[in-house]
Every structure is written in structure tokens, then in C-alpha cells.
Amino acid sequence: MGRLVVNFTGLEIEASAALVCVLVFLFLYQQSRMVFFGLWACAWLVRVAASLVGYQLIRWQNWGWLAAYAIAGYTFAIVLIAAATCSATAGSGRKHWPTALRLVSLLPPVAAVLLSSGWPSRLEAYHFAQGLLLSLVYFYNFLMLRTNSGIGANVFRVSLLLLAATPLWEGALDHAAWYEAALGCVLAMGAMAMWGESQVHRIRDLVTELDHVRREISNRIDLDRLTGLFNQSALAARIEACLIFDGVVAVCDVDHFKEVNDRYGHLIGDEILRHVGHLLQSSIRQEDEAFRWGGDEFVVLFHQQPRGVAGGRMTEIEARLRDFQVRGFGVLPISFSWGTADGRGRPLRDALDEADRLMYQRKRSRAMGQQAAWP
């Protein structure tokens, strides 16, 4: 084979740039565990090995080292093909990337073809073929990353595109090794930025998920597990927050609930409370609120409703409770006492106290067998 005249400085620059890329992509793989970054680290490690083999090739001027150099270049291309099949934003990469690595099994035939075809004596043809192969591989990676967005991804893709176009103007460059080394460093910086952007998106997704979980937990804390209504803590918070209430407050209570528990048991009592809660929730508007105040006592807030309309709604609820049926016992009419108070622009606490007082007046009147007229 003819004597090779190669710039050792250029070879050292190529090896140094490849080593920097190895370190960067190894760091990215360690931080992200993305197969994409791991394969790029392996590819640049092969590129470092190829530079060392290239040094021996220049030193010994032997066709065996040329075959080894060609195999290293082929391996570099195959690993990059495998990297292209992985998504840079996925945690584990696509499942078919190992298939691309199986192309490494073609290394022995490639070496045999190189030796039998006399390529060691045609270095220019070999160099052109290797450059064309790498251009196609870089362009394939460019296409596979077209769905990635962000500044880092764009820098990475532009670097790949420029590397793919290297054979077009490499001959016109006085220092081609410097050019490729610079592009390799830019490629590594783009990968760092791309990883940083993926972490930002991940953090945003986690924040959104945490907000959703926080809202769910907050809602569960404010809900009564038996009836599905807001609980006493939620009512207390609403009283503190609502300095002026525009609407009607209704306080209601199941009559003789203790006797029902004593006669039928607590399971039946819980079923009654659950039924009352579902009935209240289904009988009010979406903007209204129903609370279980404690035991068998409930509170309904009718926002921006006239007192007559709210009273009519409570009368309908009371009538429906008379037809309540208990499994295994048949119809079990429920007596239901209630009182309403108009907010009239005053604090919610004052309206709640008035409605509670009126509810107990009605309950006492029923106990005495008297019929009272209520507004």
C-alpha cells in the first residue's frame, strides 16, 4: 500500500473532541438512564478507539491496521444507527434498537471484503465511502429527531446536519479536523441543553401532577366519607372566609334519630344519613353547597336564592323522605325538621345561628304536637 501522509495534530484533535463527547454523553446517560445518550457515548468511545487505530495505521503503514480502522468506522456508524432508533425524550428507548446493533455481526464479512477487494491500495476510495456512510448515518439521526423541540434539540439537529454535509466541502477546508472537532463539541453542548430542556418539561409535568394530587387530597379532607357532602371542617372554613353571605342558609335535622339507631341499629342509621346526604346533593344546584354539620344535622347554603325558593326546596326534600325504604324493613318514614334564614348581606355565622334556632323551634313544636306556620 502507498505511504500515508496524515497530519498527526489533526488526529489528536479528533481524538480529543471524541473524548469530550464520550464524557458528556456518559454524564447524560448517568443522569437520565436514556439509551439514546448511552449509545452516543458508546459511539464516541468507538471513535476514540478509531483514532488510536488510525495512529497505528500511520505509524506502521500496514493493511491490517487499515482493516481495523475500517471496522471501527463501521462500528461507529452502526451504534449511531441504533441511537437514531431511540427517542431522546424516552426513558428506555424504543424496543427495536437492539436490532440495529445486530448489524455488528457483519463486521467479519466487511473486513474480508475490504481485504479481498484491494481497498488498502485505494485509500481515497475508502475515505470517500466512509465519509458517505457517516453522512447518511448523521442525516438519519437528524430525521429521527425531527419531532424534538427546544433550542437544545435544534442545536443538536443542526450539528448533525452540518456533519452530514461535511463531504461536500471537506476538501476545500484547510483544517477539516478542527471543523469536525468543533461540530462535535457543539453537538455535545446541544445534547446537554436538550437534556436540560427535558428535565424542565419533566419538572413541569410533576408540578402539574402534584397540584392535581393536592387538589384531590384537599377535596377528600373536606368531604364527609359517609354522606359525600362537605364536612364540619369545610363549613367552619367557609364561615371564616365568608364575611358577607348573599343567599339563604338552611339547617336541617333528622327527628328522633337516636330512637331509630336504638331500634334498627347503627347500620340502618348510617344508611339513613347516607340517603339524606345523596338527596340533599341531588336537590340543590351546582353552585349551592351542602354540609354534614355533625351527627344527623345538615346545612345547605343556597347562594343568591330567595328565601321562598329555598323553603320550597326544603319542603320537597322533607316530602321525599317520608317515602324512604330500608332494605329488609320496607318503608321507614323519616321526619325531617328544618329552618331557613336570609343572609341579607350579613355574616354567614349570623344567618347560620338564626336558621339553627328556627330549626329547633320547629322540632319542639312537632314534639308538642303543635302546627306552626313558617315563612
**What are the phi and psi torsion angles at 4 (to 5°)?**
-95, 130
* Catalytic positions, written as ranges: 296
- Which set of grid coordinates corresponds to residue 191? 445534547
CA–CA gap between residue 202 and residue 196 (Å, rounded): 10
243: left (phi over 0), alpha (psi -120 to 50) or beta: alpha
Cβ atoms 326, 320 nearer than 8 A: no
Amino acid at residue number 120: P
CA–CA gap between residue 131 and residue 128 (Å, rounded): 5
Task: Decide: residue 331, CB within 10 A, 0-12 exposed, 13-18 middle, 19+ buried.
Answer: exposed
CA–CA gap between residue 343 and residue 351 (Å, rounded): 5
Core vs surface per residue 247-260: b (16+ CB within 10 A) or e? bbbbbbbbeebeeb
